Amino acid sequence: MLDLAVIGARAVTPSGTKPADIGVRDGLIARVAAPGTLEDAARTIDARGTFLLPGALDPHTHLDAEMFGSRTADDFESGTVAAAAGGVTTIVDYAFQPEGGSLAEAVSRWDEKARGRAIIDYAFHVAILDPSAPAVAEIGRMVERGVTSFKIFMMRGFEERARDFLRAFAAAAEAGGLLTIHAEDQHLIGYCTERLLSSGRNGVAHFAASRPPLSEAAAVARALKMTELTGAVAYFVHLSSAAALHEIRRARAEGRKVLAETRPIYLYLSEEKFLEPGGERYVGYPPLRSRDDIEALWEAMADGTVDVVATDHCSWTSERKTADRFTRIPPGVSNLETLVPMLYSEGVAKGRITLERMVELVASNPARIFGLYPRKGAIIEGADADLVVFDPRAKVVIRAAEMHSRADYDPFEGSEVTGWPRVTISRGEIIVAERESRARPGRGKFLVRAPFSETRS
Ligand SMILES: [Zn+2]
């Protein structure tokens, strides 16, 4: 007897997209069976006319985070409900090393934020803000505990501590830790920002010019040399420009191992948004780019240059996004609920990427890269039963009022989307159906991750 059966869908599996009935027992995928061949189940979902997808894994979120003197709108409850409603069943959130504190403290603080609140499974990266000798010495211990990736911000205080960061890079390489790198060059940004502000160009209309694509490409190139020197592997978060992609391709042509992520706002919105009233609401680091950059990112997703699409979900109210100068606007937008449906609608339905490529970008690739495959990221017997019944014909107009984030605006407000999750299942439990959460806060579990190794990705 199965606990749950999902029948009649076309399932996207590692061996292809095909009609298959899925049997769930004890929270795991027990059977991937030919249609009509499953044993009895306590409960059956009729999924005819849909695609069955592995739950998405978003490896870039900021829930219950403090930045610019404020706390993000979403905590681990509202954020993971939004995620689940959009077909995301696992997140990897960034735990920030506290000022003067250790990496272990970062993890225990984030554990407190998530425990009792998250409705989906979660893991943490640790953002190394102070690469002191004791912090560098902790890197190996973090990897042993299953916290196997680290964040490096290149744009704040990085240059002053570059040698210490090199020691952190080497320690991560030795321990099997992956470096997730925010690549923007602090001096190029500083120079551009100073020039704008000193001539009174304070408004958001000038934000994009303060952090040009060259500052991203320069930082990518530099980080690639630093990782080459230390033997570390770099995973570049939220790449936004053709210039940065050029550096990725060049490194790969030289035989280097390098990983690249992009983010939905760079796929759907261009820098002209900053000229509109309320343009502050679209501010993220790096900024929105040109239409040519948008085209370059779509090409890079299709040809394999980009490995992962992740949200960088960092939610604010529209009031908090206003400021008298662009440097004071907290960066980030709410995005977890729209990650999968927007990518399906704009990417798959419009023929720019295949359905299978979409599943790689939002599920199997991040699961492999971040040490969770095959438990997460694939419809495969023995994996966690994290499944999304995705209705490719559903029509939804995005309205912030109908979304689950506590942000009061959505960056894609008014967009007409074709395709939306009908049911989201986590470890065999129906946690969202018809856009309503049915899950108990706190049911999500912390995931211990495997070290990074080149063979897995
Ligand atoms: Zn981020």
The percentage of the chain sitting over the pLDDT mark of 70, rounded to a whole number, equals 99
Does residue 217 carry a pLDDT above 70? yes
Distance 288 CA to ligand 1 centre (A): 15
Distance 316 CA to ligand 1 centre (A): 14
| Model confidence pLDDT, tens digit, residues 42-85 | 999 999 999 999 999 999 999 999 999 999 999 999 999 999 99
- The predicted pLDDT at position 121 comes to 99
Segment 155-168 mean pLDDT:
94
Distance 60 CA to ligand 1 centre (A): 6
Phi then psi for residue 301, to 5 deg, are -70, -40
Q: Report all structural domains of the chain as residue ranges with CATH numbers, in order of start.
A: 4-53+382-399+415-437 (2.30.40.10), 55-374 (3.20.20.140)
Distance CA 53, CA 302 (A): 19
The tokens of 193 are what? Answer: 């920002």
With tokens 């394999």, the residue in question is: 304
Distance 312 CA to ligand 1 centre (A): 5
H helices of 363-406, in order, are 365-369
| Model confidence pLDDT, tens digit, residues 8-20 | 999 999 999 999 9
Lowest mean pLDDT of 65-79, 218-232, 376-390, 443-457, name the range.
443-457
- The predicted pLDDT at position 456 comes to 43
- The predicted pLDDT at position 454 comes to 52
- The predicted pLDDT at position 453 comes to 74
Does residue 369 carry a pLDDT above 70? yes
| Model confidence pLDDT, tens digit, residues 101-134 | 999 999 999 999 999 999 999 999 999 999 999 9
Distance 49 CA to ligand 1 centre (A): 36
Distance 165 CA to ligand 1 centre (A): 19
Distance 436 CA to ligand 1 centre (A): 27
Distance 237 CA to ligand 1 centre (A): 8
| Model confidence pLDDT, tens digit, residues 395-443 | 999 999 999 999 999 999 999 999 999 999 999 999 999 999 999 999 9
Distance 155 CA to ligand 1 centre (A): 13
Distance 97 CA to ligand 1 centre (A): 14
| Ramachandran class of 343: left when φ > 0, alpha when ψ lies in -120 to 50, beta otherwise | alpha
Q: Which of 432, 390, 335, 372 is nearest to 57 (CA)?
A: 372
Q: What is the DSSP track for 208-263?
A: HHHS-HHHHHHHHHHHHHHHHHHT--EEE-S---HHHHHHHHHHHHTT--EEEEE-
Distance 303 CA to ligand 1 centre (A): 24
Distance CA 171, CA 143 (A): 10
Distance 330 CA to ligand 1 centre (A): 12
The rounded mean pLDDT for the chain is 97
Segment 22-35 mean pLDDT:
98
* pLDDT confidence band for 338 (50 / 70 / 90): very high
Distances (CA, A) of 188 to 84, 185, 193, 297, 391: 39, 6, 9, 23, 45
Segment 179-198 mean pLDDT:
98
Distance 245 CA to ligand 1 centre (A): 19
Is the distance from CB of 444 to CB of 121 less than 8 angstroms? yes
The tokens of 204 are what? Answer: 């958001």
H helices of 47-132, in order, are 76-85, 103-114
Distance 94 CA to ligand 1 centre (A): 7
The percentage of the chain sitting over the pLDDT mark of 90, rounded to a whole number, equals 98
Q: pTM of the full predicted structure?
A: 0.97
